[in-house]
Amino acid sequence: MRKKLLHFFGSEVSLEFFGISYLKKWALIGVLIGIVAGFGSIAFFLLLQASAYFFLGLGAGYAHPHTEVITSTFTSVAERPWMFPLIAGAGGLIVGILTTRLAPESAGHGTEAAIDAFHNKKGNIRARIPLLKAITAAITIGSGGSGGREGPTAQIAAGFGSVLSRILKLSVADRRIALAVGLGAGIGCIFKAPLGAAMLSTEIFYRRDFEVKALMPALIASVVGFSIFGSFFGWEPIFNISESAVRFDQPLSLIMYAVVGVCCAGVGIVYVNTFYKVQYLFQKLKIPRFIKPAIGGVLVGIIAMFLPQVLGGGYGWLQVEIFDEVVLSPLWILIAILFLKILATSLTIGSGGSAGVFGPGLVIGGFLGAIVGSVFHSLDLFTDIQISTIAIVSMVAFFGAVSKAPISTIIMGSEMTGGFVLMPAMMVATFIAYVMIGLKTTLYKSQPNDRSESPAHRKEYHHLLKKLSTKDSLNTNFNKISNEANVEEAIQILKNSESDNIIIVNQDKYVGFADLNNLIKTNENEAKTTKIFPTMDVPTIDIHDSLYDALKKISNSKITELPVTKHNDTVLGTISLSDIFRAYDLEVESLEEDDSEDEQTSGYTK
């Protein structure tokens, strides 16, 4: 049976994109991943509910609305709120021990780990990760940590896709696609949004590009997984919203939604910067790593003593506070929830807790929409548009911008709220937020801008890079200094330069490479008398070598630029990654212009 499977998945079926054999192979793989995603999401969801009941229910006498469609009783006030810091801290400690001892990559947000594995680890996720991620995420969120459940389900299903591809001995390229398919299927199950999640599996890996080959198998896997998950938990959208809220019949309201987009960009920058600033602070703490999630949990628990809405994913409170609109909280409460949710999420995941950032992003965006809607209503503007309608649009625009996945988020937002009527408003708000927030601001730091910057697609670009030589992108404006100069002179040059690197020469002959960080370690008194010395072992690249050779040398070293020499002797300049990409982009633009001219000529002769 194994031989038959390996024959079916062998090299002879890896034919042209969307060929018959391609469909056969990926249809089967998609079904298998979808089955695991469906049952895995069910198991994780039940485990999460049990964890919340054990930690918060029994421990603090608190039942928060941790599901979006409110079907059970919940409490706004805990019987023992003073237990929140103890419970969340204990949960963080357990998670810290598990992740530190068994698998550090199971900490943090799972989608980021899957993106990193796709680009930088040849699509490999260790076999233990899916199970461990389910356990650690259930403990983190169940004990009160602020995080979403989509990241864990994404990593669980993506992990299975990676493991399955190794069992079947698929190529590295196919392994990456299987990982992407699993990620989309897991999210499609937990959010009951199979179409948007399939699209997300192609969009989430880049800031402005798509992994198109994942789309067809992701559609299959998402539908299969959603069918299984829906059979257990019902088919209704995860947010229960009145039909009157899901409507768009006022073109002038696009002005208001444009304002929503601007606000989403501003708060999105705050969210991302806060998240990574908190993560950086925890990384710098000189304490055992397993203790850090406990500290984050205690701090979140302290916040929850005064504002329990920050606990868990927050989807239920979004449903209660905004979409049900039974009693909409005062504006200052909404603002407090918004910014404290940002802080709580940053503390939970930034300290090493195991949860997702997708869910909190939706919650933050929803509360931001409620704030903007309340302000418009107080000004007697667009009062016939419900607060919940504005919250839906803001929820989508906010996460579409910070995740760099605007198209799939729009589709998912429509599926999660039960209709595509609001799509024009979502498109306007999301587009404005996405553009204003910029490419550099993203929750997923492992996202390259496009395929050309990803190690996963390096082979696709090496032919063109081999045609270009280093002289096509040589930077002659570089820092250099004589080997007779002292360290202080070099430091002064670098302090007045945009670059931190300096090339040491002897009458233009290459001697070595130094960087500011290492030079400033020299004692201040000795810097004046110490001759400049190489601080890094940096290879050179010849002026006649190709850009592909330069890219390989940079990739295999710890620096971002190389000295360019003639016959490995005389220094002519430097070349960096940005120089290589710039030369590549110019060559592509030139080829596109040639194609355009050919089309015009062809049209003229006809």
- Coil, strand or helix at 277: helix
The alpha carbon of residue 326 and the mean position of all alpha carbons in its chain are separated, in whole angstroms, by 34
Q: Tell me the C-alpha distance between 83 and 577, whole Å.
A: 52
The answer to whether 486 and 531 have CB atoms below 8 angstroms apart is yes
The answer to whether position 352 is within a domain reads yes
Domain ends where: 449, 474, 509? 449
Q: What is the pLDDT of residue 65?
A: 67
Report percent pLDDT > 70 for the chain: 89
Q: Tell me the C-alpha distance between 535 and 341, whole Å.
A: 45
Let me know whether 104 and 145 are in one domain.
Answer: yes
Residue 509 sits in which domain range?
A: 453-585
- Kindly state the tokens that stand for 505: 């020469």
Let me know whether 332 and 467 are in one domain.
Answer: no
Per-residue pLDDT tens for 101-116? 888 877 878 888 899 9
Helix (H) or strand (E) holding 167: helix 150-167
Is 346 a residue whose pLDDT tops 90?
A: yes
Per-residue pLDDT tens for 237-283? 888 777 777 778 888 999 999 999 999 999 999 999 999 999 999 99
- Kindly state the tokens that stand for 343: 């802080």
Report percent pLDDT > 90 for the chain: 44
Is 598 a residue whose pLDDT tops 80?
A: no
Domain ends where: 402, 434, 449? 449
| Residue whose C-alpha is closest to residue 440's, from 198, 239, 246, 272 | 272
Name beta bridge partners: 354.
108
pTM (2 decimals)?
Answer: 0.76
The answer to whether position 386 is within a domain reads yes
Q: Please give the order of strands across the beta sheet that includes 509-515.
A: 480-482, 501-506, 509-515, 570-576, 561-566, 541-542
Lowest mean pLDDT among 176-180, 247-251, 274-278, 587-591: 587-591
Q: Tell me the C-alpha distance between 62 and 55, whole Å.
A: 9
- Coil, strand or helix at 510: strand
Q: What is the pLDDT of residue 37?
A: 93
Mean per-residue pLDDT over the chain, rounded: 85
Let me know whether 56 and 120 are in one domain.
Answer: yes
Let me know whether 123 and 20 are in one domain.
Answer: yes
More confident residue, 397 or 575: 397
Q: Tell me the C-alpha distance between 155 and 257, whole Å.
A: 33
Per-residue pLDDT tens for 208-231? 899 988 999 999 999 999 999 999
Q: Which position has the token pair 């398919």?
A: 181
The answer to whether position 591 is within a domain reads no
Tell me whether residue 526 is exposed, middle or buried, using C-beta atoms within 10 angstroms of its C-beta: 0 to 12, 13 to 18, 19 or more. Answer: exposed
More confident residue, 589 or 191: 191
Q: Tell me the C-alpha distance between 63 and 598, whole Å.
A: 68
Per-residue pLDDT tens for 480-510? 888 888 888 888 888 888 788 888 888 888 8
The alpha carbon of residue 223 and the mean position of all alpha carbons in its chain are separated, in whole angstroms, by 23
| Residue whose C-alpha is closest to residue 443's, from 207, 120, 165 | 207
Confidence of residue 600 (pLDDT cuts 50, 70, 90): low
Per-residue pLDDT tens for 119-130? 988 888 888 888
The answer to whether position 175 is within a domain reads yes
Let me know whether 546 and 414 are in one domain.
Answer: no
Instruction: Return the CATH number at 503.
Output: 3.10.580.10
E-assigned strands of 444-560? 480-482, 501-506, 509-515, 541-542
- Tell me the DSSP string of 128-166: THHHHHHHHHHHHHHTT---BSHHHHHHHHHHHHHHHHH
Let me know whether 204 and 336 are in one domain.
Answer: yes
Instruction: Return the CATH number at 372.
Output: 1.10.3080.10
The answer to whether 226 and 194 have CB atoms below 8 angstroms apart is yes
Q: Tell me the C-alpha distance between 378 and 566, whole Å.
A: 70
- Tell me the DSSP string of 349-381: HHTT-B-BSHHHHHHHHHHHHHHHHHHHHHTTS
The alpha carbon of residue 139 and the mean position of all alpha carbons in its chain are separated, in whole angstroms, by 22
Let me know whether 387 and 493 are in one domain.
Answer: no
| Residue whose C-alpha is closest to residue 195's, from 234, 225, 160, 228 | 225
Let me know whether 388 and 460 are in one domain.
Answer: no
Q: Tell me the C-alpha distance between 278 and 529, whole Å.
A: 41
Per-residue pLDDT tens for 306-329? 998 899 888 888 887 776 655 577
- The Cβ of residue 503 has, within 10 Å, a number of other Cβ atoms equal to 23
Is 189 a residue whose pLDDT tops 60?
A: yes
Let me know whether 28 and 170 are in one domain.
Answer: yes
Name beta bridge partners: 289.
none
Is 445 a residue whose pLDDT tops 60?
A: yes
Is 520 a residue whose pLDDT tops 60?
A: yes
DSSP class of 82? G
The answer to whether 202 and 218 have CB atoms below 8 angstroms apart is yes
Is 71 a residue whose pLDDT tops 60?
A: no
Let me know whether 9 and 26 are in one domain.
Answer: yes
The answer to whether 395 and 237 have CB atoms below 8 angstroms apart is no
Helical packing angle, 20-52 and 150-167, nearest 10° = 140
Is 513 a residue whose pLDDT tops 90?
A: no
The answer to whether position 596 is within a domain reads no
- Kindly state the tokens that stand for 321: 């506070």
The answer to whether position 315 is within a domain reads yes
Beta strand 501-506 with 561-566 is unpaired
Per-residue pLDDT tens for 377-431? 999 999 989 888 999 999 999 999 999 999 999 999 999 887 788 999 999 999 9
Let me know whether 375 and 468 are in one domain.
Answer: no
The answer to whether position 603 is within a domain reads no
Is 94 a residue whose pLDDT tops 90?
A: yes
Q: What is the pLDDT of residue 241?
A: 77
Confidence of residue 603 (pLDDT cuts 50, 70, 90): very low
Let me know whether 376 and 515 are in one domain.
Answer: no
Q: What is the pLDDT of residue 591?
A: 62
- Kindly state the tokens that stand for 457: 């697609």
The answer to whether position 390 is within a domain reads yes
Is 463 a residue whose pLDDT tops 60?
A: yes
Name beta bridge partners: 571.
565
- Structural domain count of the chain: 2
413 torsion bin: left (phi>0), alpha (psi -120 to 50), beta (else):
alpha
